Amino acid sequence: MHPDIQTHKIQSRLASFCRSGENSGLKGVSKGRLKHYRRLVFNNVNSSLKSAYPLTHNFLSEEKWLKAVTDFFREHVCESPQIWQMPGEFLNWLTEKDDPLLKECEFLSELLLMEWLEVELFMMEDIECEYSTQQNAQRDKLLINPEHRLLAFNYPVHLKNAAEITEADKGNYYLLMHRHPSNGSIVFTDVSVFFAAMMQHLSNENQNINNLIQKTCTDFNLQVNDEIFKKSKEFIGKAISTQLILGFTN
C-alpha cells in the first residue's frame, strides 16, 4: 500500500476515535494515551465554539452546552479544514437535525445566527470597491459597504441579555452588521423596518439620496415630507460616519 494512503487511513481512524471514543483498527498505540488525544481535541473544539458563541454559552446551562458540543463532536465530520468555519457547521448541524435545544428556546437560533455572522463577517475576504467621500453632480450615488449583513429577528437578541428576553419581547427587529474597513471591527446597528428597507434597496442598487428616500416611502405608501426627509438624511449621515455607507460612486 502506498505510504500516503496508509497515512490517510491512520489519520481517519484516529479522527474517528477522537469523535466516538471507539478504537476502529488503530494498531501499535497505547490505549492509555489515546484517551488523551480525544480529550485534547475535544477541548480545542469546545474552546473554539465557546469563543464563537460567548452569548449562547453564557445563556445555556453548562450541561446543555456540553451535551450539544459533545453530540456535534461525535456525530459531525467537519467539511472545512479551517477551524474558524467550524462554528458555522455547528449552527448548520443544530438546524438541520432540528435539535431539541432550538425548540426549548425560540430565540436561540437567532442568537446563534447573529454570533456566527459576526465571525463570518470578521473573517471574510476583503471586497474591493471604488468610491469617493465627496458628493458631486457626477458622482452622487450612495455605495453601501458590501461587507454587511441585514438580519430580521423575532426577538431582540442584539438589544437585550438573552436571560432577560421573554415571550413579551416577540416582535419585529432589524439589525445591520458591517465590518469597518479601517480596523476590521464589526459594527452593530439597530434599525427600524423603514431604514432596513432603505438599506435593502441600496444593497440591490447604488442610488442617490432623493431616489432612495422616495423608493422607501413608496414601499410603505408614504408621501415624502420634511420630517421623513430630515430623519432619512440623519440616518444616512450616521451610516456614512460608521462606514455602513462608504461614500459615493458613479
Class of domain 3-104: mainly alpha
* Other CB atoms within 10 Å distance of the CB of residue 10: 15
For range 109-117, the mean pLDDT: 98
Taking the model in full, what pTM does it have? 0.86
Strand arrangement, sheet containing 186-191: 148-153, 173-179, 186-191
Q: What is the pLDDT of residues 34-43, one digit of tens each?
A: 665 677 888 8
Q: Where are the domains of the chain?
A: 3-104, 141-249
pLDDT digits (tens, 9 = 90+) for 134-146: 887 556 899 999 9
